[in-house]
């Protein structure tokens, strides 16, 4: 029996991963589509006049099975994929594309939705209901409901091709990452590397069946330490070029044609719907509203940070020369000399700090932070089915001991998992038949694995990454809305990073670090002078970091605010649009676009600016905590009520003003970054 088609009979109705096989997905998807279309047909066939309840709410409640199966499937395609799953994705993706279009292009359904929208004043809706109605109506219009038949057919073709291209892009990046190995057999080539890094490389070699060798890969916990500490400039250049050229090698995994195809399909789709560009289409539903406002925002940030970045580059170059480094720093030199300079200026580096950041302690620290702020407790469960042995599950409870959420944590890299870190959900919070259905939330990361001799010890960047993704998870766990499509992280894309980015701030606070930063052997608390050094070094090269983000955001906006059919050469295009933010010599073999998963298969197309946009908001919001105490109950309760629990139930500007009493101060980010 297909597990998706019967009751799960698992704790908290969690997904029965232990019973799922690849062959279960396609039949379940087809059955889900059948049920979803039947739900829609019933709405259209209703002879009663269209109302909010029998049309908008009924549509919101439709398609539960197809939503569940597709969510599980595509989550696993990112975190625990296989050749079979990737092949199946190419069959499932067009089915889902057709299903979505069968709903959005259903004339009878749209007629009822439009009727309710035009008569909305007569239904006496509350704020969340008004948001759902407007979102539903706009979704139909923005997905072609007002097009003629020929245009609708063209839209269907575009959407199918887009979904297939997205899958191919991600598969190519993963294949490129897995194909590369830097195999070292000469111990002298390990010069400069830390003991932990060498031990991890030895373990990787052993796992890959290579004796008397050390293996480095393009996974972040392997790649970043090698670039940061290795004394071997030749090998650093080699692994850097392998990393930077993913999808840009004119081989079977090349993404150049895919990038152009995706950009062109998005442009065609936007034009078909009456928009000047994909960016214009996307930003209509964002706080930023338009490409002009985004570019003005980025330009203002650049004006405030470029001079700082140039001074930081000059300082790093001078330092490199002073210790016998190259006359001109190349991109593969920057992490190495930056780490040395940071250590010299602040007497601190990752190797000094890592013993205080044992993964299990950091996890408990983020749990304790959530408890002090929002009253949440996390109880590990051993009876919830897992999709991989490395995953850990928790039951989340509130201050009253009531069940709040299921939390999945998946921390270590593997060949079946894409790179990076992200939060996702297997089940959104919503109210159904008067019952508050609680969410099942997951964070997926690629942290340093434990070795045979040491536990997983995190770099400080990995600590902030864990807090960041956990902030997203809190947004999902604390959700308390009526409708699933407005729950948790279902908010404007340039607002979704607020809960994640604000939580990073606690990593720099002694009151928080004292909760978990303890030496993994002695149990000694992190010395206070180390904390001061973390704080003092927080803005080290913040100018360079800022313009790097501006450059990525500019590249994204450039792809999506123009007619991409005019782009002949991807590398030349990248070089031209990021000329103001690229301070280091260009590398001919590299291409950002060809592995820029955030903006191509990911959800950040025309939205990468949102990281910096949300930083402005999070810097301002954290000032509210700093004013009254980072664990102040009054401020935390307000943030919980107005931001975390509210999801997308109202416009984010309204929610933020309710929390802060005003709009965010744009200078808050500059103050925190030391750029004013």
Positions marked catalytic: 469
Q: How far apart are CA 80 and CA 444, in angstroms?
A: 11
Strand partners, 410: 444
Q: How far apart are CA 173 and CA 595, in angstroms?
A: 6
Q: Are 87 and 149 in contact (CB under 8 A)?
A: no
> For residue 508, what are the CA distances in angstroms to 464, 513, 541, 560, 637?
9, 7, 17, 36, 22
* Residue 464, phi then psi, degrees to nearest 5: -65, -30
Q: Are 474 and 645 in contact (CB under 8 A)?
A: no
Angle subtended at Cα 454 by Cα 450 and Cα 459, rounded to the nearest 5 degrees? 65
Number of residues in the chain: 676
Q: Are 358 and 522 in contact (CB under 8 A)?
A: no
Q: What is the DSSP string of 307-356?
A: HHHHHHHHHHHHHHHHTT--SS--TTTHHHHHHHHHHHHHS--HHHHGGG
- Lookup: tokens for 349: 């580096």
Contacting residues for 333 by C-beta, under 8 A, at least 6 apart: 233, 236, 320, 325, 326
Contacting residues for 149 by C-beta, under 8 A, at least 6 apart: none
Q: Are 665 and 626 in contact (CB under 8 A)?
A: no
Place of tokens 């003003």: 657
Angle subtended at Cα 498 by Cα 71 and Cα 443, rounded to the nearest 5 degrees? 35
Q: Are 221 and 200 in contact (CB under 8 A)?
A: yes
Q: How far apart are CA 287 and CA 642, in angstroms?
A: 17
């Amino acid at each position: 029996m297909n597990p998706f088609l019967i009751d799960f009979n698992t704790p908290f109705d969690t997904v029965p991963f232990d019973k799922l096989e690849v062959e279960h997905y396609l039949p379940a998807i087809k059955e889900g589509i059948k049920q979803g279309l039947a739900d829609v047909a019933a709405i259209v066939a209703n002879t009663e006049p269209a109302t909010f309840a029998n049309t908008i709410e009924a549509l919101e409640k439709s398609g539960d099975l197809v939503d569940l199966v597709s969510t599980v499937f595509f989550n696993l395609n990112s975190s625990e994929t296989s050749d079979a799953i990737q092949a199946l994705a190419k069959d499932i993706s067009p089915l889902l594309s057709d299903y979505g279009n069968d709903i959005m292009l259903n004339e009878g359904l749209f007629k009822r939705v439009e009727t309710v929208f035009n008569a909305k004043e007569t239904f006496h809706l509350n704020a969340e209901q008004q948001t759902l109605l407007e979102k539903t109506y706009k979704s139909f219009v923005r997905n072609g409901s007002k097009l003629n038949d020929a245009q609708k057919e063209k839209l269907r073709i575009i959407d199918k091709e887009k979904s297939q291209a997205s899958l191919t892009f991600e598969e190519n990046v993963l294949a490129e990452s897995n194909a590369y190995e830097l195999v070292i057999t000469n111990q002298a080539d390990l010069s400069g590397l830390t003991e932990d890094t060498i031990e991890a490389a030895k373990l990787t070699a052993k796992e890959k069946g290579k004796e008397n060798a050390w293996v480095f890969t393009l996974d972040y916990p392997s790649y970043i330490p090698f670039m940061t500490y290795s004394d071997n400039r030749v090998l650093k250049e080699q692994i850097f070029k392998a990393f930077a050229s993913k999808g840009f090698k004119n081989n079977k995994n090349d993404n150049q044609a895919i990038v152009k195809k995706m950009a062109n399909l998005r442009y065609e789709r936007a034009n078909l719907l009456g928009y000047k560009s994909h960016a214009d289409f996307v930003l209509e539903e964002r706080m930023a509203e338009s490409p002009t406002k985004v570019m003005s925002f980025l330009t203002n940030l650049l004006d405030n940070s470029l001079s700082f970045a140039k001074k930081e580059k000059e300082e790093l170059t001078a330092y490199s020369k002073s210790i016998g480094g190259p006359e001109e720093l190349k991109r593969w030199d920057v992490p190495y000399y930056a780490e040395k300079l940071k250590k010299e200026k602040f007497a601190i580096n990752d190797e000094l700090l890592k013993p205080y950041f044992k993964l299990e302690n950091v996890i408990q620290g983020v749990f304790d932070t959530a408890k002090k702020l929002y009253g949440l407790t996390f109880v590990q469960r051993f009876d919830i089915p897992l999709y991989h042995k490395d995953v850990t599950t928790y039951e989340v409870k509130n201050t009253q001991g009531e069940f709040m959420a299921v939390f999945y944590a998946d921390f270590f890299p593997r060949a079946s998992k894409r790179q990076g870190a992200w939060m996702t959900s297997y089940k959104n919070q919503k109210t159904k038949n008067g019952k508050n259905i609680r969410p099942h939330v997951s964070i997926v990361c690629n942290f340093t694995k434990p070795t045979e001799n040491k536990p997983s010890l995190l770099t400080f960047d990995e600590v902030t990454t864990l807090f960041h993704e956990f902030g997203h998870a809190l947004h999902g766990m604390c959700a308390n809305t009526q409708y699933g499509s407005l729950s948790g992280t279902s908010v404007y894309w340039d607002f979704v990073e607020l809960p994640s980015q604000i939580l990073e701030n606690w990593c720099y606070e002694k009151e928080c670090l004292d909760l978990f930063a303890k030496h993994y052997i002695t149990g000694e608390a992190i010395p206070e002078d180390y904390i001061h050094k973390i704080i003092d070094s927080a803005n080290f090269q913040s100018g360079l970091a800022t313009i790097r983000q501006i450059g990525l955001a500019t590249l994204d906006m450039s792809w999506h605010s123009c007619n991409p059919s005019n782009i002949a050469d991807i590398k030349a295009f990248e070089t031209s649009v990021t000329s103001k933010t690229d301070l280091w010599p260009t590398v001919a073999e590299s291409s950002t676009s060809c592995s820029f998963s955030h903006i191509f298969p990911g959800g950040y197309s025309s939205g990468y600016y949102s990281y910096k946009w949300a930083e402005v908001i999070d810097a301002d919001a954290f000032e509210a905590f700093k004013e009254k105490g980072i664990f102040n109950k009054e401020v935390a309760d307000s943030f919980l009520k107005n931001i975390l629990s509210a999801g997308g139930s109202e416009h984010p500007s309204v929610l933020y003003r309710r929390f802060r009493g005003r709009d965010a101060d744009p200078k808050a980010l500059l103050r925190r970054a030391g750029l004013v």
